[in-house]
Amino acid sequence: MSTNGQNQRLMTDRDLDDLSKVHQNLANLLRTVRRHLHANPELGFQEHKTAQYIREILQMEGVTGIQEIAGTGLYVDIKGDHPGPMVGYRADIDALEAEDRKDVPYRSTSDIAAHLCGHDAHSSVAIGVAVLLHGLKQHLHGTVRVFFQPNEEGVPSGAPVMIDGGVLDGLSAVYASHVDPTLQVGQYGLIAGPATASADRFLVQVSSDTSGHSARPHQTIDTVWVATQIATQLYQMVGRLSDARNSAILTICRIAGGHAFNVIPAEVEFGGTLRCIDEDERARLKARTIQISEDVGRLYGADVKAEYSDGAPAVINHPGLVKGVAATITELFGDQAIVRIPVPSMGAEDFAYYLKYIPGMLLRVGTASGPATSHPLHDSRFDIDEESLAPAAQLMACVLMSHLREQAVRQATVA
């Protein structure tokens, strides 16, 4: 996307007028969609009813040509009346394996799944984008592919499956947005370059030939003690063996072993995540995690098996696309709506997989308006102010229209 938004308007008055008229009940539609999805969450690669509902809503709004992909995923191409390139907009549709503890009418009806990371909102915004652009085909210079991805939360996640299914074929760039409860409704967070961290999983199993008596640990291998020594060394690794200029964090989130109070167990295991911004640092710390675990275990005579699973890489926002989105936000809402994010989030987003192939950009959408909508992501009380949905859909529709128009102009100039 070009960066000349300060020199010429990205959207004409007619564009903006048509955008406001194409779906005057957009806010009500997206609120209804979001509440249905929130009340009926499904886990990764199990989103059959979710996908069917999304399909039905799109068809009800006149959007046709919806295709299946990646098992429970969907995509639809909105083809404009004018020739041009193709750009993508992605939403994730899966829920977390968690409990919804809010006292609201649209609380999750599932005992095992809840939309505590905003994927219901993301899907709603994507539906809004598709519906708006379907009604604005006369302004589209090219094609917008809106796609709904399963299993963002799982490992392995859904993005690589979507890529294998061809979702990026023909795309010149891809956009996405994510709810942000630290920003107020009407605020949009922008950051160029690294926007999120990578997220890998590790599992360390410490074992010996036999269990032992708690009164005589010298007669056995104290697997609990060895596991704590490994854990301590791994925590120290980040501070002493990584470049302090590159953000990285290792967190142990689970540990298990033993049942009795007076028996040293024959096996203990613990696991967690390692998150990095820099790809070289990620590779170094991965190797160190395995090496330290095995070396400490060997030092104390324990058998140690360290397993490491690569997760999503870091999201790297394309600076040119960020600048273009900033220009569109300014034109629609004023520059006061922009919040410049100073440092990357150490959370992860498998949207990053797409950016290994084509330029892309992840936007943060403010969804807070008070205590009830300010709980952090993954909190069992997480909720959003639904007044954020329609403006986000309108913004992204404008971003995609502007992107296509500028790319078409550039291609025509080169030709």
**Tokens for 241?**
């063996």
Looking at residue 23, what DSSP letter applies? T
What is the spatial distance between Cα 143 and Cα 98, in angstroms, rounded to a whole number? 37
Residues 186-243 have pLDDT tens digits of: 999 999 999 999 999 999 999 999 999 999 999 999 999 999 999 999 999 999 999 9
Q: Label the pairing between strands 200-207 and 303-309.
A: antiparallel
What is the spatial distance between Cα 202 and Cα 251, in angstroms, rounded to a whole number? 10
Catalytic annotation on 152?
Answer: yes
pLDDT at 3 over 80: no
Does the pTM exceed 0.85?
Answer: yes
Give the active site residue among 42, 100, 120, 152: 152
At 1, the pLDDT band (50, 70, 90 cuts) reads: very low
DSSP-assigned states of every residue in 210-250? S-EETT-GGGS--HHHHHHHHHHHHHHHHHHHS-TTS-EEE
pLDDT at 18 over 90: no
Strands (DSSP E) along 2-137, which ranges? 67-69, 73-79, 82-92
What's the pLDDT at 413? 78
What's the pLDDT at 4? 41
What's the pLDDT at 59? 99
Residues 156-185 have pLDDT tens digits of: 899 999 999 999 999 999 999 999 999 999
Nearest Cα neighbor of 283 from 350, 198, 165 is: 198
Average pLDDT on 12-30 reads: 75
Residues 106-124 have pLDDT tens digits of: 999 999 999 999 999 999 9
Residues in the chain: 415
- Of 39-43, 360-364, 406-410, the range with the lowest mean pLDDT is 406-410
What's the pLDDT at 10? 61
Residues 257-287 have pLDDT tens digits of: 999 999 999 999 999 999 999 999 999 999 9
The pLDDT mean for the chain works out to 95
CB contact at 8 A, 125 and 177: yes
Question: Which contiguous run of DSSP H or E holds residue 159?
Answer: helix 158-164
Q: Label the pairing between strands 82-92 and 263-264.
A: unpaired
Of 95 and 21, the structure prediction assigns the larger pLDDT to 95
CB contact at 8 A, 127 and 54: yes
What is the spatial distance between Cα 411 and Cα 399, in angstroms, rounded to a whole number? 18
Which domains are delineated in the chain? 13-196+313-414 (3.40.630.10), 200-309 (3.30.70.360)
Catalytic annotation on 77?
Answer: no
What's the pLDDT at 54? 99
Give the active site residue among 15, 42, 92, 94: 94
